[in-house]
Structure 1
Amino acid sequence: MAIKVKAVERELKVGKDAGKYRFMMQAEIYNTLSAQKVISEASVRSGIAEGALSAAWDAIGQVVKVWATEGHSIAIPGLGRMRFGVRATTVDDVNKVSTGLITTRRVIFSPSVEIKDELKDTAINITCYDREGKIVKRVTSTDPGNIEDPDSPTDQPSTGGNDNPGTGGNTGGGNSGGHSSNEPIGD
């Protein structure tokens, strides 16, 4: 299997290169699989009745919602961990701290080592399209498979190996994007 990516030649509308054409890459998404499709496939692979899996799926979803809103980092078996967090503007005075400083609420997913390794080992096939929509080139990956790791303390990509169980307290962290005065709080 391979991840399919398309690179489409498009005119840039903003920035210093506005008006110039550049190839923009994005993963091709086939479609979103429904919960029922996942349950049916899991039933076939596990031998557990669909009804039992469906009830468990619903119950697990409810538990995850409740525990995440209580501030827990929740293990998702075989996939990684999920937790809620926020981004907020910083202030220099405790009297200025308020919920108005929160700029976004976030769902944070930290993939397991196995998922990172699977992604690292998966080939990437790129199909390039010119501005008229014609295929002009096909590329298959030969890269080392570096994986972006939002929990990594540096800007260097991770190649796996950090499962980050999320058992520590809030030790701060870098600003992984957005305006420089925004920093993650609670993650």
Structure 2
Amino acid sequence: MARGRKRKAGKRHPSGKLVQPRLEETQREVMSTVLEARQRHFGVSERQAKDERLGTALGRLAFVGAITLSQYAAGELYGETMARHRAVVGLPLAQPRSVTGLLINEGIFGGGEPVHDPELIDRIRKEAAAATLVLSDADRDMPAGTRRGPSLLVHSLVCYDVDAALWSAADLKWLGHGLDALAKLYRIRLDSS
């Protein structure tokens, strides 16, 4: 009877140590897995699966043409603004992308509070307040009785990556209205396509 744990399968060095795969091979394998999953899940070709917009809910709307390129750019800038605001104010990330991000948010590891320049904090707070105000103004344009306004739709799509594939035409219309308002704030030229 053999003692200890079962020997792992794989190529070995003459010393008996397992041969570790090269970093390039593992990255290539990971990318091929991601591309295959995107092809299966979104029903796109191999070339289309390489489009980085498929990685976010906002990007997928831009990919299928539900929002314009200027609206997509405005949504990206809004996401960056809100992420910077959360970081500077000391709030955890809205949606950590990894376990490490989650552990850092919860204070389990990853250093203490960063010290920010007061002018930087003030500038970022003003940017976030301006974006929030613009979306609040867009909410006021809605008719009475509408369930979800542009501020809620934009924030949930951009900051929380809520999938909008099954949103109604009215929700997409108000999402576009909010993104257009942000595009004006960020001085992005509005395109009609």
* TM-score (norm. length: structure 1): 0.30
Q: Would you tell me which structure has more helix in proportion to its own residues?
A: 2
Larger radius of gyration: 2
* TM-score (norm. length: structure 2): 0.29
Q: Would you tell me which structure has more strand in proportion to its own residues?
A: 1
